[in-house]
Structure 1
Amino acid sequence: MNDDVSTLAEWIADSPSTVFFGGAGVSTESGIPDFRGANGFYFQEREIPLETVLSIDFFTKHPEAYWEWFHEIYRPVEPNGAHKALASLEAAGRMDAVVTQNIDGLHHRAGSRAVWELHGNWERLVCTGCGMVAPLGEAVTVDGDPVPACPSCASQMRPDIVMYGESLDQGVIEAAVSAIARASTLIVAGTSLVVYPAAGLINYFSGDHLVLMNATPTSADAHADLIVRDPVARTFDQVMAELREEGAI
């Protein structure tokens, strides 16, 4: 084991409260492109800019075009070693909460329970008419229309995500802030820390150990107690192996 892995494993084992704050880089090893990486969604050439497609104004005016894009890029993927490790740490009492910028739902699928999804979850749909929430797979389409209809009232449904032009859920924000403020160890992984207000949440941390796990430098590097550049899932696989060897989980 390298020194970084051993240090992180030791801090997790000794910490009275550990919180994980993750971004797109947590899911790249599941096959989902990150947002601002070299091959990420942000830099992919497209006829309509991504920020426009993902805006509430575009969705409201052009729901068919939005859903055509959605069905083009959506594909179910499986949790990777990082998602599974975090769920195992929570079950062992070593992880208090996961705060995520991702909308892929992989933390829930891996088994984590205390998950605060800042930008929502595209595996859930919400009806624009009656407000019914349903899993993506339960939505229905009619006569080739790409826009799913509510199984209850037949109104249009939308992904349960925060689009550009919308505010984050205040209850989710407050819960995430509370978890981060109580943490003695905060692990920030797979995020460039440039998307606000989510990126500003780490300013509420005042604990003992700030760990940054990202392939490229971030604005918070100068404040970190440990910086890891290796892939997130690979690092957590090694951390879990060391924790098991030490009998900490």
Structure 2
Amino acid sequence: MTELDTHARDAAVRALADARRILALTGAGISAESGIPTFREAQTGLWARFSPEDLATPEAFAREPERVWGWYRWRRTLIARGGVNAGHEALAALEHHRPVRIATQNVDGLHAAAGSSDIAELHGNIWRERCSACATTATMAVAPADEDAPLPVCSRCGAPTRPDIVWFGEMLPADALARAEQGLNEADCVLVVGTSNRVYPAAALVETAIAGPATVIEVNPEATPVSTAVDVALRASASHALPALVAALDAAPARR
């Protein structure tokens, strides 16, 4: 395991300790450590012959809900088997030191499963189902899916339900985006974890953070387009770097 750069680690710990509020912007990299494939990586094996338009659009759901639900149930099982990792757990533990809001591009629900309490899900949540008629939602437990179960229907009106995920051609949920932007405006320190910083509008949040007064810490084993512009860059995985930062905060005298 690569050791963290001491100077960068200490600078990150100081910034977190001095912060009143923290925003964590997370992407696929933090969950990849649980063995969870990205959207594109999930189009392999039995699903390799299908395009995104076959699996992740309102039109596809209206045309072939069985296929769409088959794919999402398969993905649910992969997520449940992978589970939370030390990176997710460290962000939850960081709440013992400061208020932390997470704005995530991930749909896997693992931040909540790890215990984080303030999460803006920019692309939705694979465990949440939304009625296609009345918009009633219900959240399922994180567990392997029963792929032979009948297609879900709304408990309120009986209409088919769909995964509450942002599909191609749909807008990001306005409330989640507003909470992410509010978190950015209030944060003294911004953690950018496991994201390529290439997918908009989430990448715009990173750019805004860099242009603002908050200290921006990037956690990523690979360099990204913003790596030279952030205040601190930790070249390590989330499951290595984040627990180390939290452990250092745990050991330090309280600073308020």
The one-letter code of the counterpart of 2:250 is: R
CA distance in 1, matches of 2:72, 2:231: 39
Aligned-pair identity in percent equals 32
1:46 to 39, 45, 48: 48
Partner of 1:209: 215
2:198 to 194, 199, 218: 194
CA distance in 2, matches of 1:41, 1:216: 22
1:22 to 5, 20, 26: 26
Partner of 1:141: none
Contact kept in structure 1, 2:219 and 2:234, CA below 8 Å: yes
The one-letter code of the counterpart of 1:165 is: G
> Which moves more between the two structures, 51-60 or 187-196?
51-60
CA distance in 1, matches of 2:150, 2:130: 16
TM-score, scaled to structure 1 = 0.87
> Which moves more between the two structures, 45-54 or 154-163?
45-54
Question: Secondary structure at 2:233's aligned position in 1?
Answer: strand
Contact kept in structure 2, 1:57 and 1:165, CA below 8 Å: no
Question: Secondary structure at 2:120's aligned position in 1?
Answer: strand
CA distance in 1, matches of 2:191, 2:175: 22
Q: Are residues 137 and 95 of structure 1, via their aligned partners in 2, closer, same or farther at CA, if it must alter by over 3 Å?
A: closer
Partner of 2:145: none
Q: Are residues 145 and 240 of structure 1, via their aligned partners in 2, closer, same or farther at CA, if it must alter by over 3 Å?
A: closer
Q: Shift of residue 123 of structure 1?
A: 1.0
5 Å-filtered alignment, 1:85-234, equals 85-92=90-97, 94-136=98-140, 146-205=150-209, 206-234=212-240
Question: Secondary structure at 1:27's aligned position in 2?
Answer: helix
Q: List alignment gaps of at least 5 residues for structure 2.
A: 143-147
CA-to-aligned-CA distance 1:184-233 (integer Å, 9 cap, x gap): 21111111112111211123321242111223222212211111221101
The one-letter code of the counterpart of 2:137 is: V
The alignment covers a number of residue pairs equal to: 241
Partner of 2:83: 78
Question: Secondary structure at 1:123's aligned position in 2?
Answer: strand
Q: Shift of residue 128 of structure 1?
A: 1.2
Q: Shift of residue 52 of structure 1?
A: 4.0
